[in-house]
């Protein structure tokens, strides 16, 4: 059996649209306020110009709010990690007092790490590939046989 150890999966920071908006929206607002300020300096006390400046200000705030709502509600159908999980196929064959687990895992033999802890099988390969599979009824079991050939992992859990 291959010596295995799994660490917790890395949590890389993800930049969301909301975080981007927290940077972009204030810049847009400051630019609009600058335009309104320049317009007010050129107004020369004309009442119609002040009304136009007020309309420009209200319109700016309205569109910033609409853009923020539109972009907050846009969410991808699924993340890349979920897409990868949907494409990953494995077989779990239940026998008498044992399980056989078969799956494709990327990487060379020495980079494949597998661990069974409290009924959860942790599989890790190369390129950030890592999966967790819950195996019901395997709490007291352990991995008794490990085979990895041509990208196919076969485990016997007894």
pLDDT band for position 4 (cuts 50, 70, 90): very low
Backbone phi, then psi, for 154, in 5-degree steps?
A: -125, 125
Contact present, 114 and 124 (Cβ < 8 Å)? yes
For 50, residues 6+ apart whose C-beta sits below 8 A from its C-beta are 40, 43
Domain boundaries, the chain: 17-73, 80-157
Residue 110 and residue 52: Cα distance in Å, rounded?
71
Fold that domain 80-157 belongs to in CATH:
Immunoglobulin-like (2.60.40)
pLDDT digits (tens, 9 = 90+) for 105-155: 999 989 999 999 999 999 999 988 899 999 998 888 999 999 999 999 999
Cα separations in angstroms, 13 against 10, 16, 19, 126 = 9, 9, 11, 20
pLDDT at residue 68, rounded to an integer? 74
pLDDT at residue 85, rounded to an integer? 54
pLDDT at residue 31, rounded to an integer? 79
**17-21, 70-74, 144-148, range with the lowest pLDDT:** 17-21
Q: What is the pTM of this model?
A: 0.48
């Amino acid at each position: 059996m291959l010596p295995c150890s799994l660490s917790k999966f890395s949590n890389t920071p993800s930049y969301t649209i909301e975080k981007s908006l927290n940077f972009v929206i204030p810049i847009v607002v400051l630019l609009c306020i600058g335009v309104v300020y320049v317009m007010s300096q050129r107004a020369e006390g004309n009442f119609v110009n002040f009304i136009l400046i007020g309309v420009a200000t209200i319109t700016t705030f309205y569109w910033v709010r609409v853009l923020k709502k539109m972009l907050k509600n846009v969410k991808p159908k699924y993340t890349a990690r979920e897409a990868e999980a949907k494409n990953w196929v494995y077989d779990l064959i239940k026998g008498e007092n044992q399980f056989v687990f078969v799956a494709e895992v990327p990487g060379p033999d020495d980079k494949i790490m597998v661990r069974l802890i409290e009924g959860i099988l942790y599989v890790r390969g190369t390129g950030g590939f890592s999966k967790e599979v819950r195996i019901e009824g395997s709490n007291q079991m352990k991995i008794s046989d490990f085979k990895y050939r041509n990208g196919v992992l076969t485990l016997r859990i007894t």
